[in-house]
Amino acid sequence: MQARRAHLELVYENVDITADLQPHLANWSYTDNLSGQADDLQITLEDREQLWAGDWMPEKGAKVTAKIIRENWEEDGKTDELALGQFELDEIEVGNPPSAVTIKGTSIPESSSLRGENKNKAWEKTNLSVIAGDIAGGASLELFYDTEDDPEYDRIEQTEEYDLAFLQRLCNDAGLALKVSDSQIVIFDEAKYEQQEPIDTIIRGQVRITGYSGRTTLTGMYSSCRVDYHDAEQKESIKYEFTPDNPPKTGRVLVVNERVKSVAEAERLAKKKLRDANKDGTTFSLTLVGEIKYLAGLTVNLVGWGKFDGKYIITQAGHGQQSGYETKLELRKCLEGY
């Protein structure tokens, strides 16, 4: 039987430097987030000869692409891989003892104008997808707009805000998720992703789990959401209250006073706001032997974990290697009916 092996393949500014890394590689980690945070890559190199702190030190702002390569993992002679995407190197640290260099990369390019530059701009008679497309184009990124929801605006203003902060605010208001990954801005509906078929069933006792924890709470949860909007100009009030099947056992009602044009729009808003408030009611964390099939946004079933059994969406997948290749999952129980 051949030995299991896993390693990181790294291409730096279109040059494969994997062979140069291997003799010095102490550990590496990759974190894939569902939304709201950048994906990141971190590599630590031993540097007794002061190569990586000297002539070999990477340039800040350089582009790297990475893959996880597994050999003999599932069966002898078989190789598989997970592409991690492109990152921009944004931070380098040196330290001693032991002599080491840590290189960090982010999926949100600091060389773009997404962060750190306050801007002022206005759009009229437009949609969220158009605004997102304008911002993506200005940052030399692609836009992947993966939802049928496309809010309309009579007029919307960006006032002394970073592009990314402004776009994140619009997505939050619309109940949509946003991430920047592999040279793309991705906007999507988490409810749609939760409805996907699970890619795996993680059965307690049948999977090599090295650690786990679970949490369920009523803190910050609501049993229903009421949209209550009065249009002074039209002298019209629109009200709608949504209560899901099997609501949390709390008497709190989430009241939303935001502009809506119809009862149907109020219903959509109520479901999204209640979902956002209640989505972290049950969470679970798992650490297991390295598995490349787990990525943020995919769903899995948990079986054999008592009251924590059920369908979950992966909100964060961490892959890394120190003494051995491990995968760490942050899971959120999928909501049904909203």
- For residues 198 and 329, membership in a common domain is answered with yes
pLDDT given at position 142: 96
pLDDT given at position 234: 73
pLDDT given at position 198: 98
What is the domain extent for residue 85?
Answer: 5-106
- For residues 148 and 259, membership in a common domain is answered with no
d(CA 165, CA 116): 10
- For residues 211 and 237, membership in a common domain is answered with no
114 assigned to some structural domain:
no
Q: Are strands 200-203 and 299-303 parallel, antiparallel or unpaired?
A: parallel
10 assigned to some structural domain:
yes
- Averaged over successive runs of 10 residues, the pLDDT of the chain (338 residues) comes to 91 96 96 96 96 94 97 92 96 95 95 88 97 96 96 94 96 94 96 97 93 96 95 84 94 93 92 95 97 98 98 98 95 93
Angle (CA) 48 52 53, round 5°: 85
- For residues 243 and 135, membership in a common domain is answered with no
- For residues 210 and 235, membership in a common domain is answered with no
Question: What SS3 class is residue 228?
Answer: strand
d(CA 336, CA 329): 21
338 assigned to some structural domain:
no
Residue 179 has, within 13 A of its CA and on its CB side, a CA count of 22
Whose tokens are 């340039």? That residue is 59
Quote the longest CA-to-CA distance of the chain: 77
111 assigned to some structural domain:
no
- For residues 204 and 293, membership in a common domain is answered with yes
- For residues 183 and 197, membership in a common domain is answered with no
Question: What SS3 class is residue 96?
Answer: coil
Indicate which CATH number applies to the domain containing 58.
2.40.10
Among 258, 276, 294, which residue terminates a domain? 276
8 Å CB contact between 256 and 270: yes
- For residues 145 and 23, membership in a common domain is answered with no
Question: What SS3 class is residue 296?
Answer: coil
d(CA 18, CA 331): 32
- For residues 208 and 294, membership in a common domain is answered with yes
Among 137, 170, 188, which residue terminates a domain? 188
User: Could you tell me how many helices (H) and strands (E) the chain has, helices first?
Assistant: 5, 21
Q: What are 63's two structure tokens?
A: 């582009």
Report how many domains make up the chain. 4
d(CA 225, CA 256): 7
In one letter, which amino acid is 251?
Answer: G
Identify which of 25, 182, 206 has the alpha carbon closest to the alpha carbon of residue 103: 25
- For residues 202 and 296, membership in a common domain is answered with yes
pLDDT given at position 74: 86
8 Å CB contact between 51 and 59: no
Indicate which CATH number applies to the domain containing 168.
3.55.50.10
- For residues 206 and 328, membership in a common domain is answered with yes
- For residues 202 and 260, membership in a common domain is answered with no
Indicate which CATH number applies to the domain containing 324.
2.30.300.10
112 assigned to some structural domain:
no
30-67 b/e with 16+ CB inside 10 Å = b? bbbbbbebbbbbbbbbbbeeeebbeebebeeeebbbbb
